[in-house]
Chain A
Amino acid sequence: MIKLTHVSKTFDGGRSYAVKDLSLSVDKGETLVLLGSSGCGKTTTLKMINRLIKPTKGVIKVGGKDVMDHNPVDLRRQIGYVFQGIGLFPHMTIEQNVEIVPRLLGWSIRSRRERMQELLNLVGLPAESFAERFPDELSGGQQQRVGVARALAANPAYLLMDEPFGALDALTREALQQQLLTLKNQLKKTIVFVTHDLHEALLIGDRIAILHEGNLEQIGTKKDILDMPATKFVQDLFAIKRPGTLT
């Protein structure tokens, strides 16, 4: 489980806060969606969990241990991360990209290979035809699936996903969302998923945390939020008939 207690982050010495006094927890096997417009602090929150960014105040615990007590490299290898810009390594084949974390962890070539094939099949890119290709030979949707496979490679208990489908066209996005739902039920990971898309949030999240200008407006299940909006902001957000996209 992941637990944030009174976490704040300022980049300018306290004049403004990207994240302000945020407390929330993600239970084991649960998917929490961080929903908000750009600049609300959701990506900062995600990066603080695997120590890409250091919190100014507060404590973040992953698996019961303060992240600041973890070796950052070991911590990151235990947490799968799917990046907003995908971030595949352009000079490595799909196979090498997927294998990278197991390789860093010193797995044998054989087990790396088996894992790679298993994962590529899982995300719907058969290894026979995709393993030896390079990222720039794949479509955006295919690349993002490789990104997901890479994040899952070392079988981490936690998965952080930063607007993974943000840059894709609507059709591809929907297909990947469906696929993620299937995966999620199959794999039982603890997932923190960042998005600015209401529809996506409602579809994927077991619970949803709504952030606005660094503050937590509300956290709860889909039902909680739709039936009992905690603030005016949340109410307005879902008042529109057909939930669309925040920008």
Chain B
Amino acid sequence: MSLDAMVAYVVERLPELWLRTGEHLMLTGCSTLAAMFIGIPVGILLFRATYLRGLLMGVIGILQTIPSLAMLVFLLALLKKIGVLPALIALTLYALLPIARNTLTGLEEVSAEVMEAAQGIGMQEYQQLMMVRIPLAAPVIVAGIRTAAVVGVGIATLSAFIGAGGLGQFINRGLALANIKLILLGAIPAALLALVVDFSIGAFEWGLRPERKRDKKGSVQSLMRRLAFMLPVALVLISIITYFTKPGWISKSATQLKTGHRIIRIATKNFTEQLILGEMMAQLIETKTDLIVERRFNLGGTMICHGALVNGEIDLYAEYTGTGLTAILKHPVISDPEEALNHVKKAYHERFDAQWLKPFGFNNTYAITVREADAKKNEWNRISDLGNTAIELRAGFTAEFAERPDGYPGLRQIYGLQFGEVRDFDPALMYEAMAKGEVDVICAFATDGRIAAYNLKPLKDDRNFFPPYHAAPVIREEIMKTHPKLGDVLSLFGGLIDNATMQRLNFEVDGKKRRTAEVVEEFLKAKGIL
């Protein structure tokens, strides 16, 4: 890509880049601040109460070792909320350890001689702490805050998984669409942001040094000192302002106040087809109703989408019958598509107050897929053909597939397959790994455009193991009651998209790197719906 093209690419996305950077800073800044308000007092408490040290530092240390995604999902389950709150709490918990530990270490390292002098000249205990011990420990404490904030910038990229925004959103979307440019659009600013945060806290530390107090008023140093103090504060303020003035936030809230509930929140999981379906529903609703659509796309998986729907955090997303049946309802596989749909319809209505609308038409079931060349050489046509050779093969599965009963565990049972090695991948990276020859078998999606693009061969499911995966809009019944028209509008999609069409749409976005919104608009116009 030429430099001009690169500049144009970034310039075009500048407004969103600004918004995401603001969100990112807000997440990092607020969580670091919160961690300071908790971590520093905890550090001081631990310094005084020696007997608590082992226990509390242990607990904080364990928090630190919880993988970030697991922590996010756990908080999601606990709070029953997606978005900024769980992200902020997770980031705060991570920031706690460096801040509390450095506070404790800093306080401990103050020389005993100086502390004896403080006591000996007649300082009260709190005066010894406030006037001598804490000021002397300050550089170590600030260093802890610095570590926490810089690490926080990195971890905050994961917040996008639960719809909290931030630069991770570009990375996430880029991963979902196998689009390196988008990934870099998130990753590079995040790295730069880490440097800016590091620098600004470093400047703060400089301004805090005792010798700065001596700088003459009006001198360059004293001016710089003031700037140094203001820098981190300014960063956090700017980020909060950016966050609360983001396009639509004010107008949206105003509309909401004036006219009551007029917003529909549409979510998607984090892969291309979901983004396309989400965008389709969004565009259709925007055209055919006067509802305002809020896109909460790219959430990190089925459980997050479903949880958000049940908790009323989102109103609508596209789900697959097989997924609803096995992953959500924990029901055994039903092979008949009609029967499967009826079952989830009934169960969702009874258990979740949610409604399944007419399916789009295609069946995006899992397809055990190998390279075309390998298939020819080994005469693989059906899954059973893999038989005993499976032990020599390396499999690459999505994390969901590896665990779901209608995934690898069931496959092993029904076909007696045992692969030599199983690795978990992000859906987009799974195909990459296949193309690069790093794995031999993947759990492709039947409608994926990359099956054709990468010369892959889906094997026939000769024992009818995989349940039908017909996609359909799933919507909260409460929304259906307030806006009965929605049902009719979304029914326009009924049977509109067959497997071949879905493969093509996926490939337009995945393979040709076209914009989802553009591909969707073109398609809907061609079908005469828009």
What chain B residues lie within 8 Å of A90 (beta carbons)?
114, 136, 210
Query: Of B114, B117, B121, B132, which contacts A77 at CB under 8 A?
Result: B121
Within the assembled complex, what's the spacing in Å between the Cα atoms of A88 and B121? Answer: 11
- CB pair A89 B123 closer than 8 Å: no
A73 and B117 contact, Cβ closer than 8 Å, known pairs A92-B210, A132-B214, A134-B210 = no
Residues of chain B in range 83-121 having any CB-CB distance to chain A below 8 Å: 113-114, 116-121
- CB pair A83 B132 closer than 8 Å: no
Interface centre among B117, B118, B136 (most CB of A within 10 A): B117
- CB pair B211 A87 closer than 8 Å: no
Within the assembled complex, what's the spacing in Å between the Cα atoms of A188 and B292? Answer: 87
Contact string against A for B residues 119-132, beta-carbon threshold 8 Å, 1 for contact and 0 otherwise: 11111100100001
Within the assembled complex, what's the spacing in Å between the Cα atoms of A100 and B119? Answer: 12
- CB pair A76 B121 closer than 8 Å: yes
Interface centre among A73, A77, A88 (most CB of B within 10 A): A73
Nearest to B211 among chain A residues (CB) is A134
- CB pair B123 A104 closer than 8 Å: yes
- CB pair A87 B122 closer than 8 Å: no
The answer, yes or no, to whether A195 is at the interface (CB within 8 Å) is no
- CB pair B116 A52 closer than 8 Å: yes
- Does more than half of chain B's interface fall in helix, strand or loop, or is it mixed? helix
The answer, yes or no, to whether B330 is at the interface (CB within 8 Å) is no
Nearest to B135 among chain A residues (CB) is A91
Interface residues on A, range: 20 to 34
The answer, yes or no, to whether A243 is at the interface (CB within 8 Å) is no
Query: Of A52, A88, A91, which contacts B119 at CB under 8 A?
Result: A52
Contact string against B for A residues 147-170, beta-carbon threshold 8 Å, 1 for contact and 0 otherwise: 000110000000000000000000
Within the assembled complex, what's the spacing in Å between the Cα atoms of A160 and B437? Answer: 81
Min Cβ gap A140→B in Å is 14
- CB pair B214 A100 closer than 8 Å: no
Nearest to B213 among chain A residues (CB) is A93
- CB pair B136 A73 closer than 8 Å: no
Contact string against B for A residues 63-94, beta-carbon threshold 8 Å, 1 for contact and 0 otherwise: 00000000001111100010101111111110
What chain B residues lie within 8 Å of A85 (beta carbons)?
113
- CB pair B122 A73 closer than 8 Å: yes
Within the assembled complex, what's the spacing in Å between the Cα atoms of A26 and B324? Answer: 91
Within the assembled complex, what's the spacing in Å between the Cα atoms of A75 and B118? Answer: 14
- CB pair A52 B120 closer than 8 Å: yes
- CB pair A91 B136 closer than 8 Å: yes
- CB pair A73 B120 closer than 8 Å: no
- CB pair A101 B116 closer than 8 Å: no
- CB pair A89 B118 closer than 8 Å: yes
A76 and B122 contact, Cβ closer than 8 Å, known pairs A104-B127, A134-B210 = yes
Within the assembled complex, what's the spacing in Å between the Cα atoms of A51 and B132? Answer: 20
Within the assembled complex, what's the spacing in Å between the Cα atoms of A87 and B119? Answer: 11
Residues of chain B in range 197-231 having any CB-CB distance to chain A below 8 Å: 210-211, 213-214
- CB pair A76 B120 closer than 8 Å: yes
What chain B residues lie within 8 Å of A150 (beta carbons)?
121
Query: Of B123, B211, B214, which contacts A73 at CB under 8 A?
Result: B123
The answer, yes or no, to whether A8 is at the interface (CB within 8 Å) is no
Query: Of B121, B124, B132, B211, which contacts A101 at CB under 8 A?
Result: B121
Within the assembled complex, what's the spacing in Å between the Cα atoms of A93 and B212? Answer: 11
What chain A residues lie within 8 Å of B211 (beta carbons)?
134
What chain A residues lie within 8 Å of B135 (beta carbons)?
91
- CB pair A77 B113 closer than 8 Å: no
- CB pair B132 A87 closer than 8 Å: no
The answer, yes or no, to whether A144 is at the interface (CB within 8 Å) is no
- CB pair B214 A93 closer than 8 Å: yes
A87 and B123 contact, Cβ closer than 8 Å, known pairs A132-B214, A134-B211 = no
Nearest to A101 among chain B residues (CB) is B121
Within the assembled complex, what's the spacing in Å between the Cα atoms of A136 and B136? Answer: 14
The answer, yes or no, to whether A45 is at the interface (CB within 8 Å) is no
Within the assembled complex, what's the spacing in Å between the Cα atoms of A100 and B128? Answer: 12
Within the assembled complex, what's the spacing in Å between the Cα atoms of A73 and B213? Answer: 29
Nearest to A160 among chain B residues (CB) is B120
Query: Of B114, B124, B213, B214, which contacts A87 at CB under 8 A?
Result: B114
Min Cβ gap A70→B in Å is 11
Within the assembled complex, what's the spacing in Å between the Cα atoms of A69 and B207? Answer: 45
Nearest to B132 among chain A residues (CB) is A89
- CB pair A81 B210 closer than 8 Å: no
Which B residues lie at the A interface, using CB under 8 A? 113-114, 116-124, 127, 132, 135-136, 210-211, 213-214
Q: A88-B114, A90-B114 are in contact. List 18 more A-B contacts (CB 8 A).
A: A73-B124, A74-B122, A76-B121, A81-B117, A83-B117, A85-B113, A86-B117, A87-B113, A87-B117, A87-B120, A90-B136, A91-B135, A100-B121, A101-B121, A101-B122, A104-B127, A134-B211, A151-B121
Closest 5 CB pairs of A and B: A87-B117, A76-B122, A77-B122, A85-B113, A91-B210
Q: List 29 A-B contacts (CB under 8 A).
A: A50-B120, A73-B124, A75-B122, A76-B120, A76-B121, A77-B121, A81-B120, A81-B121, A83-B113, A83-B116, A83-B117, A83-B120, A85-B113, A86-B117, A88-B117, A89-B114, A89-B118, A90-B210, A91-B132, A91-B210, A93-B210, A93-B214, A100-B121, A101-B121, A101-B122, A104-B122, A134-B210, A150-B121, A151-B121
